[in-house]
């Protein structure tokens, strides 16, 4: 639709009418801009779950993941007595797309995440394998043979090749694999790690999982600063001393993630087992 037509209404030989036309056009543009202001030069999302609901359309459950009547997310399978099963893998993905970096400008998003969790060994002397909070592509599939130390995130064939995996993960790893940091004893093996496109972490910190009482609930907070490209992780157990974990790493999100991602949790057991429960989480970002 043409709001003004110089051909139909304003002969080019009339400077006064041209001036009036331009003035009216400017007034029209000002009116439109005041009603529909220019979008801000950032994008943000803010969502969370205080209690998981299996009927929430934003929550996608995959493989062995389930939600209890109490609103707790169980990432790996258990039997009718609540005992963890071997070689189980499970995942939850939140459906909200997250614009994590901008292809046109190259800008990176700041983001913050947090969650409450518990990992219990079922009274086993040896436990495994762990869980992870992750950011990954909009379309996701659980890789084949990704039980055990692959945490349901990585295909064993490409697990150590960052060029094959568009995944950024914070892993809570309880079992020592060949790619994990060396440990003097198996009880010293648990660690929190930052995984950048690979199951082999770029940064790790000891996690005293074996000394934490069963059913103790931990709190994790994750922060990414786009200016410094610094990803920081802090873990604590309220009321339990000497159980804090802190680590960080420089990560350029553009080198590992697609422009749009979804966030989620993934976990796996292998020959040894444990339970992996998430009680609540939140996520927010600004681009």
* Same-domain pairing of 127 and 62: yes
Q: What is the pLDDT of residue 1?
A: 35
* Same-domain pairing of 21 and 53: no
* Same-domain pairing of 151 and 277: yes
- Mean pLDDT for the stretch of residues 50-68: 97
Distance (Å) of CA 229 to CA 1, 105, 182, 193: 47, 16, 28, 17
Listed residue (70, 50, 278) closest to 172, CA to CA: 278
Q: Does residue 12 carry a pLDDT above 50?
A: no
* Same-domain pairing of 92 and 9: no
- 92 with 60: CB under 8 angstroms? yes
Q: What is the CATH classification number for the domain harbouring 86?
A: 2.60.120.200
**Percent of the chain at pLDDT exceeding 90:** 82
| Domain interval for residue 25 | 1-36
pTM above 0.75, yes or no: yes
* Same-domain pairing of 1 and 65: no
* Same-domain pairing of 19 and 92: no
* Same-domain pairing of 30 and 60: no
**Percent of the chain at pLDDT exceeding 70:** 85
* Same-domain pairing of 89 and 3: no
Q: What is the pLDDT of residue 122?
A: 79
Q: Does residue 16 carry a pLDDT above 90?
A: no
- Predicted confidence band at 39 (pLDDT cuts at 50, 70, 90)? very low
Q: Does residue 38 carry a pLDDT above 50?
A: no
* Same-domain pairing of 162 and 188: yes
Q: Structurally, how many domains does the chain consist of?
A: 2
Q: What is the pLDDT of residue 124?
A: 78
- 97 with 177: CB under 8 angstroms? no
- Mean pLDDT for the stretch of residues 20-49: 50
* Same-domain pairing of 117 and 220: yes
Q: What is the pLDDT of residue 262?
A: 97
Q: What is the pLDDT of residue 8?
A: 34
Q: What is the pLDDT of residue 43?
A: 79
- Cβ within 8 Å of residue 139, ≥6 positions away: none
Segment 177-233, tens digit of pLDDT:
999 999 999 999 999 999 999 999 999 999 999 999 989 999 999 999 999 999 999
- Cβ within 8 Å of residue 75, ≥6 positions away: 64, 65, 90, 91, 92, 131, 265, 266, 267, 276, 277, 278
Q: What average pLDDT is seen over the chain?
A: 88
Listed residue (210, 223, 135, 143) closest to 173, CA to CA: 210
Segment 139-184, tens digit of pLDDT:
989 999 999 999 999 999 999 999 999 999 999 999 999 999 999 9
Rg (CA), the chain: 25
């Amino acid at each position: 639709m043409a709001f003004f037509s110089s051909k139909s209404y304003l002969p080019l030989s009339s400077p006064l009418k041209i001036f009036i036309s331009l003035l009216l056009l400017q007034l029209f543009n000002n009116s439109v801009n005041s009603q529909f202001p220019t979008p801000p030069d950032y994008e943000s999302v803010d969502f969370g779950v205080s209690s998981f609901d299996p009927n929430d359309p934003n929550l996608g459950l995959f493989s062995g993941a389930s939600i209890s009547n109490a609103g707790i997310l169980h990432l790996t399978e258990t039997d009718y007595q609540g005992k963890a099963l071997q070689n189980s893998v499970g995942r939850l993905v939140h459906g909200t797309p997250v614009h994590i970096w901008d292809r046109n400008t190259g800008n990176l998003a700041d983001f913050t995440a947090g969650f409450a969790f518990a990992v219990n060994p079922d009274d086993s002397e040896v436990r495994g394998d762990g869980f992870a909070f992750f950011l990954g592509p909009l379309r996701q599939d659980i890789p084949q043979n990704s039980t055990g130390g692959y945490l349901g995130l990585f295909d064993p064939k490409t697990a150590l090749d960052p060029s094959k995996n568009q995944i950024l993960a914070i892993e809570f790893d309880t079992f020592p694999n060949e790619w994990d940091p060396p440990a003097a004893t198996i009880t010293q093996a648990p660690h929190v790690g930052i995984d950048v496109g690979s199951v082999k972490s770029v940064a790790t910190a000891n996690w005293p999982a074996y000394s934490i009482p069963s059913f103790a609930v931990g709190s994790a907070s994750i922060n990414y600063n786009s200016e410094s490209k610094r990803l920081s992780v802090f873990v604590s157990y309220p009321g339990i001393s000497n159980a804090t974990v802190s680590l960080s790493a420089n990560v350029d999100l553009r080198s590992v993630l697609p422009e749009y991602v979804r966030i989620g949790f993934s976990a796996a057991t292998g020959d040894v087992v444990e339970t992996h429960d998430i009680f609540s989480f939140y996520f927010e970002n600004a681009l």
